[in-house]
Amino acid sequence: MATEINETILENLKKEGFKDLEIDEIALNFYNYTGYPKPNQRYKLTYINQDYSVEEMYFWMVGHARDVLSLPYSIKITDIFAASEGSSLFGDLGQRLTAMQNQASSLLATTNNMVKDLFKKVRDFRKMRERLSYYKKVEENLPSNERKSSTAHAAENTLKDLWITLIEGGGENPSSVYGMATKVNFVTLPDLFFQAPPLKENEIKDYVKDLDFNPAVLLALERKLYQFYHWKKGTYEELKFKENMLKKNIYQHYQNIRLYLNWIKPYIKNANKLSVNSDMMDTYGIISSFQTSMVEIETLLYVPVGNLTHPTEKKDLTVNSVVVLHFLYQTTPEMNFHAKDSYHQKGPSHAGRVDCQIRTYSWTSEEISAYKKAKTDEEFEIIKALDNSLTQDVDYFGSDLKELINEIEEELGLELSGDQSEKEKEKTLDEKKKERDEKIKSYKKSQGGPVSDIFRGFKEILIEPFFSGSSKNPQKQMLSYNSTLKGLKKKATSDSNAKAWLIYKNYKKAHKMVTW
């Protein structure tokens, strides 16, 4: 076993609150940190066999702990390997790794192009919303005497300028508002056209009639106002339709990008797992010209032993009996056909040495999560970077895209897609777990039988009324809480120590090893 300890893991453990770290004699008269929190109990077992596969130890111990010793929950913490460059296993895994990398590269290139297209669509949507804001200002229901002094008049003039420039062709068209102004009798036409407030169709004629100007100018003004009104009405409806279509198209495009990212993640994750561990490649157990490999596996198994609620924070706490199994394999892999009729696919069989260590802890659910985070921070940096890439790109456009996605999902009655925070997700999962645990408890109580029901009724009638009014003193509540927590920790320690001993003892007995 390697004597060098990953300093990053030690720092991560301290950062997550594990101050008391384990120190052990990892070589003769040589003591060092093991990279684990100090356990309540620990057992070691080394097994060497060159005749048959040693993978059986892992599956036997995990299966025995789950099925026989009631440790139903498991978390795989570590699963890494290394193979010598000259081994057949290295070549076989290299081919699989190349296929994963090629597929991931292709999907990443497609996703990159889709993100660029998304940004173009968002820019177009911004421009369309800006144009629509002018129309909405004009459509405000203001009294006629207030329209001229309101911002609606300024928005109307902006649209009039767009109409003259884009539709009539500006001053180059002799029949446009600007073109007619070059003639002697129509010099005042542009001023009158822009001074007209936002008008409805039935108000145009009355507005023009009240003006005291040349009849030819007023006739041209009335005609231009009618043309502008119908253009404004038609383009407003068209822009609203286009906005709705583009909005849905952006949402669909955004969801497609998320779909592609979900497709990419397994390829990135599996490619990362198929890559040999660089630290292991530098150890004495890997020789380039030999058929050698090293595998490190760590699995955490646990079962809750009790729950309690913090008196001031009102936070539920679960204390667990925890057993951590760690395996380090140093083997000679042989590529064989494992299935009778499968001659197209070979798989490795590992024979050699395995070092197993069994550690016990009494941890809360938060401490289990902290331990997992401390041990797996390095493994998932690539996946986290991939997850964050889309968020960073979205943030470049400010809140426009997020508001747009939320707006569409509210219209469609959908749940928030990717903008739900990790804390909200964890809260939802915790609530579901709590609800599930309550159902399990109620089921256990219902299975008590007639005798336990009699004692439960006796407790409810004669005992609980005298003790139901618990003290409201916060200090006494904290003392009671600490006492209960200490009792649950002691119970979890006793339970995990007993189960670790049974895993160790029963494996040796089942495999005819020396026991006492």
Same domain as 328, residue 263:
no
Same domain as 128, residue 14:
no
Are the C-beta atoms of residues 338 and 347 closer than 8 Å to each other?
Answer: yes
Same domain as 318, residue 247:
no
- Confidence (pLDDT) at 252: 85
Helix (H) or strand (E) holding 337: none
- Bridge-based pairing of strands 21-27 and 41-49 is unpaired
> Among 336, 270, 266, 330, which Cα is nearest to 297's?
330
Domain count, the chain: 3
Same domain as 298, residue 182:
no
Same domain as 296, residue 286:
no
**Which DSSP string do the residues of 400-431 spell out, in sequence order?**
HHHHHHHHHHHHHTPPP-S-S-HHHHHHHHHH
Same domain as 58, residue 173:
no
For the record, the structure tokens of 405 come out as: 């996605």
Question: Domain range for residue 185?
Answer: 85-290
Task: Let me know if residue 515 belongs to a domain.
Answer: no
Task: Let me know if residue 326 belongs to a domain.
Answer: yes
Task: Let me know if residue 379 belongs to a domain.
Answer: yes
> Among 229, 37, 202, which Cα is nearest to 135's?
229
Same domain as 17, residue 5:
yes
Same domain as 149, residue 21:
no
For the record, the structure tokens of 210 come out as: 């009240």
Domain boundary among 290, 324, 356: 290
Same domain as 224, residue 298:
no
Task: Let me know if residue 45 belongs to a domain.
Answer: yes
Same domain as 361, residue 279:
no
Same domain as 189, residue 71:
no
- Confidence (pLDDT) at 395: 55
Domain boundary among 236, 255, 290: 290
- Confidence (pLDDT) at 417: 46
- Confidence (pLDDT) at 96: 72
User: Can you tell me the distance from the alpha carbon of 329 to that of 332, in angstroms, rounded to the nearest whole number?
Assistant: 10
Task: Let me know if residue 212 belongs to a domain.
Answer: yes
Domain boundary among 266, 290, 314: 290
Averaged over successive runs of 10 residues, the pLDDT of the chain (516 residues) comes to 63 88 86 91 90 83 94 90 72 75 84 83 85 82 59 85 87 84 82 86 86 86 90 90 86 84 76 66 70 87 91 85 93 63 58 91 93 71 53 56 73 52 52 66 57 53 49 75 90 95 94 82
Same domain as 266, residue 224:
yes
- Confidence (pLDDT) at 183: 81
Are the C-beta atoms of residues 331 and 353 closer than 8 Å to each other?
Answer: yes
Task: Let me know if residue 516 belongs to a domain.
Answer: no
- Confidence (pLDDT) at 419: 45
